[in-house]
Amino acid sequence: MKLKLTGLTKSFEGHGVLDNITAGFGPVRSLVFIGPSGGGKSTLLRIIAGLEVPESGSVELDGEPIEFGKGEKALQSYRRRLGVVFQAFNLFPHLSALKNITLPLEKVHGLSPADARECAIQTLTRFQLAEHAHKKPGALSGGQKQRVAIARAITIKPRLLLFDEPTSALDPEMTAEVLDVIEELKDDGRDFILVTHEMGFARRVADDVAFLANGHILEHGPAAELFAAPRTAACRDFLARVMH
């Protein structure tokens, strides 16, 4: 994965969230955004996912620009090739775990019901969820719901996975369960971008790390280097607070 951000600016109701962000990453397998709450991490991830449109600036993924100016149809085509996992799971509450996975395979990616079911069962089995396939989200634990969301994201065979604080709603045991799945995906060679407050995990799983605060990327680089010797006072202070 190669990612190039140029002059990205975004605000909500007059409040600046991203301020002229310019940075380049890659080639890397895993990129992790860290930083204090409200620093712009999730907004930046949503722009990369094609879910938010910047007021100015551009994004290139593997040399291809995201066509923000060409309307919703162009963005939908781009989004079909991505797998996105949100902190709130975003599962359909009235559908079973199985149907949550087969529905986009059939309606968005054009698989037959039989092929969609086969793909979904294979993925649910891999994540130890086969026995829960016919349960609705309300009957699942938080960790199980997030694993279903990850299964849904990878079953479409995306070019890139995007995780927006996937463990923030989970207790420690369920957090470990979900982080294990993400680490397994990295071992499989999957490319992903992750927003997280789990610093130990970020240090372990990231190839590159970007530190965001107040709408800026204040520094970025290889994970081992950034965690061992952050260059900016803001990053040093942040890591000193959250690593203890």
Compare 178 and 211 and report the one with higher pLDDT: 211
Q: Nearest to residue 43, comparing CAs of 11, 89, 77? A: 11
pLDDT reported for residue 213: 96
Please state, rounded to an integer, the average pLDDT across all residues of the chain: 93
CB atoms within 10 A of CB 202: 20
The one-letter amino acid at 30: S
pLDDT reported for residue 26: 83
pLDDT reported for residue 84: 94
pLDDT reported for residue 11: 94
Please, what are the domains in the chain?
Answer: 3-81+159-242 (3.40.50.300), 92-158 (no CATH)
* Per-residue pLDDT tens over the stretch 61-85: 999 999 998 888 889 989 999 999 9
pLDDT above 90: percentage of residues in the chain:
78
Residue 244 above 80 pLDDT?
no
233 sits in which H/E element: helix 233-242
Q: Nearest to residue 96, comparing CAs of 144, 150, 137? A: 137
Distance CA 97, CA 110 (A): 19
Strands 3-12 and 160-164: unpaired
For residue 208, with 0-12 CB atoms within 10 Å meaning exposed, 13-18 middle and 19 or more buried, which class applies? buried
DSSP string across 68-96: GGG-HHHHHHHHTTEEEE-TT----TTS-
What the block records as the tokens of 115 is 């092929």
Residue 97 above 90 pLDDT?
yes
Q: Taking residues 170-174, report their average pLDDT.
A: 85
Q: Are 121 and 130 in contact (CB under 8 A)?
A: yes
DSSP 3-state of 226:
helix
Strand order of the β-sheet with 3-12 is: 15-25, 3-12, 56-61, 64-65
